[in-house]
Amino acid sequence: MRGHPNFVAYIFALLASALVAVQPVAAQSILRDAETEQLLTDMIAPLVEASELEPGNVEVVLINDGSINAFVAGGQAIYVHSGLINEAETANEVQGVLAHELGHITAGHVIRFNERTKTATNISILSLLLGVGAALAGSGDAAIGAVMAGQQAALGSFLAYNRNQEASTDLAGARYLSGAGISGRGMIKFFERLRGNEIRRGYSQADEAAYSRTHPLSGDRIQTLRGLLTEDPAWGAPPDPELQERFMRVRAKLYGFLAEPRRTLTFFPPSDTSIPARYARAYAYHKEARVDMALAEADALLALEPDNPWFLELKGQVLLESGRPRDALTPLRRATEITRAHPLIAGMLGHALIATEDAANFAEAETVLRAIATIPSPGISWAWSMPRAAIYRARGWRAPNSR
């Protein structure tokens, strides 16, 4: 191997990979839903106030990803994976995660993360260059040693720094929960859930495994936080029943939207007449183009809460995407009125008006769409991600949020 040209090529390949590693990852798709966004905003509001950040400046964005994760990528936006919402059982658990992510924002960890990544990359590049020099000099063993030592030093430095950040952010999250008067039971429960998942998947909880992790061991985090949170006056604070009910609805709605209809109907069988179950089934039936059954679930929900804007939106969506835009106008107009022209709902109304192909509706459509034209709508709106939306593309109609 000593001085072999293939080894030199290998070193250069490692150098190239180190440079590529610092490039940003591809953006993930964003899910947008008016009800879900309102819920997440209400859940984080007291935590933002406790963190002394400016109210209204922190945004929670839902990512279409089945893994259990949340992260901060810059600015004051928290990205929550759909898998985390599905895994959590209570709104309080999600608030525990949001409190932790707020700690990353207030500590400026994204900026420091970039700085630390640059430092680790520099160590890696230097070791690779030393390896190249040794290889060109004919010392293959020295080259391997330089590369391996440098890579290990860079990785160890980076992981240790990241673990320290996570540990300090756990403590900040606990402070924000306390300041908001919200129990830390959900934070503990979620970490216990993560620990259970780690054990089931065979991840070691041993101390020697801690040095290769990006986060502290879940068991250690639970022990530290439990000592703080159980002594906090807010520990015994009862959960907000209204917030919990809203969370269960959104969780079921998200499940029905993302899961295969067969799985949804197994998890929420017709015998379950609860509001979350009907919500999930409505989306499952709609995805299978079983229009009458989807409308029956929407009507059952509206019979319980006639002025619920999200149920009205659901019915309007099913009608519109099933090729019945004229029938969709009444529920969508009412939903738009109740939500004071929320962009996602008003946008659907505007396109329903156009889809009627009735010139008498075009003036109203223009008024509605102009009113929301200046409001950015990134990502994928749930209301326009169903298979039936293909009908509108085939007819040359433009769906909301399309580019």
| CA 390/CA 403 separation, integer angstroms | 15
Angle subtended at Cα 18 by Cα 16 and Cα 22, rounded to the nearest 5 degrees: 115
The burial class, CB within 10 Å (0-12 / 13-18 / 19+), for 198 is middle
**Helix, coil or strand: residue 61:** strand
**In terms of CATH, what superfamily is 259-394?**
Tetratricopeptide repeat domain (1.25.40.10)
Bridge partner residues of 347 (DSSP):
none
One digit per residue, the tens of pLDDT, for the chain of length 403 reads 444 445 444 444 544 444 444 444 445 689 999 999 999 999 999 999 999 998 888 999 999 999 999 998 878 899 999 999 999 999 999 999 999 999 988 886 454 445 444 544 544 454 454 444 445 455 555 445 444 544 554 444 433 444 456 777 888 999 999 999 999 999 999 988 888 877 766 655 554 444 444 455 667 788 888 988 999 999 999 999 999 999 999 999 999 999 999 999 999 999 999 999 999 999 999 999 999 999 999 999 999 999 999 999 999 999 999 999 999 999 999 999 999 999 999 999 999 999 999 999 999 999 998 888 765 544 455 554 444 443 333 334 444 433 3
Q: Please answer whether residues 344 and 400 qualify as being in contact, where contact means their C-beta atoms are separated by less than 8 angstroms.
A: yes
What is the DSSP track for 308-365? Answer: -HHHHHHHHHHHHHTT-HHHHHHHHHHHHHHTTS-HHHHHHHHHHHHHTT-GGGHHHH
The reported pTM is: 0.75
Q: Where are the domains of the chain?
A: 1-240, 259-394
